[in-house]
Structure 1
Amino acid sequence: MDYQFIRNDRAEPAAIFEMGAETLGLWFSEELGRDRQKIHHLLDVIQQLEHKNIEQYALQGREFNMDLTRDEIEVYAAITRDEGEIDIPEDTELYDQESICGCGLEDFKEVLLSWQEFVGGM
């Protein structure tokens, strides 16, 4: 998974991920940001998953939610999982490639540790 961390025009940390994983970049940039407490909490959750103390974990955010399991994570825009009924024509397909993505738990942990290092140096 290709990604890079930058400082945006307001000197805030921002993550840019390859096509197909843009949602993960938005999650790092908008939901996680510099919140070191949240970073530590997620690393603790990952450790619990790795040691099989828990099977899954759900993290709700303002714009994006995250589901973590022992094998993978999935980040999705909160609106894509809205349980309310939407009145759309029967054969309509919704495009959600830019509002949902996932990756392996090990890969996510590696990116999260890199993010922790990046925002720690700011």
Structure 2
Amino acid sequence: MDFEFKKNTLLGTYTVYCSMGHEAVAQWVESELGTQIARVDKHLELLAQARNNPFNEINVLGQGYNLSVYDNEVTVTAHTVQDDSSDWHDEELGSFSDETEAVCGLDDFESLLIQWREFVG
């Protein structure tokens, strides 16, 4: 997973851009962590726990996204797609699903969080 950070110096806002298929990860970082270092640190601790116990699933329910870590894989899912009763998946929305769900490796995700912490800190 490739990523890039940008800061708008006029507005003081921070933005994450992730490679295609990982847009939900960028949305999760911006909305669930923002520039709060304590939240980043908390999630880095959770990743360390996940690394030590790879088959013990960790779930973090955020305001707009759910983060799940299992077997060295991280899944970010928007709450809007967790309602399995809806039939609007895949074909109707195409690339919209990239903004609502993404999967990446634990190492890539951890690297993203470490670099985000340094960038906003």
Q: TM-score, normalised by structure 2?
A: 0.83
What code does the residue aligned with 2:7 have?
R
**Residue equivalent to 2:47:** 46
Q: What is the CA–CA distance in structure 2 between the aligned matches of 1:28 and 1:59, rounded to whole Å?
A: 13
Structure 1 position 80 matched with structure 2 position 94: no
Relative contact order (alpha carbons < 8 A, sep ≥ 6): 1 or 2 greater? Answer: 2
Instruction: Indicate the percent of aligned positions where both proteins have the same amino acid.
Output: 28
Provide the aligned C-alpha RMSD in A: 2.2
Contact 1:73–1:108 (Cα < 8 Å) also in 2: yes
Contact 1:57–1:68 (Cα < 8 Å) also in 2: yes
Aligned residues: 116
Report the Cα offset of residue 22 of structure 1: 0.8
Q: Which consecutive residues of structure 1, in runs of 5 or more, have no partner in the other structure?
A: none
Q: What is the CA–CA distance in structure 1 between the aligned matches of 2:54 and 2:7, rounded to whole Å?
A: 36
Q: TM-score, normalised by structure 1?
A: 0.82
Counterparts of residues 64-79 of structure 1 (less than 5 Å): 64-79=65-80
- Greater share of helix residues, 1 or 2? 2
**Residue equivalent to 2:5:** 5
Following TM superposition, where does structure 1 have runs of at least 4 consecutive aligned residues deviating by more than 4 angstroms? Answer: none
Q: What is the CA–CA distance in structure 2 between the aligned matches of 1:119 and 1:98, rounded to whole Å?
A: 23
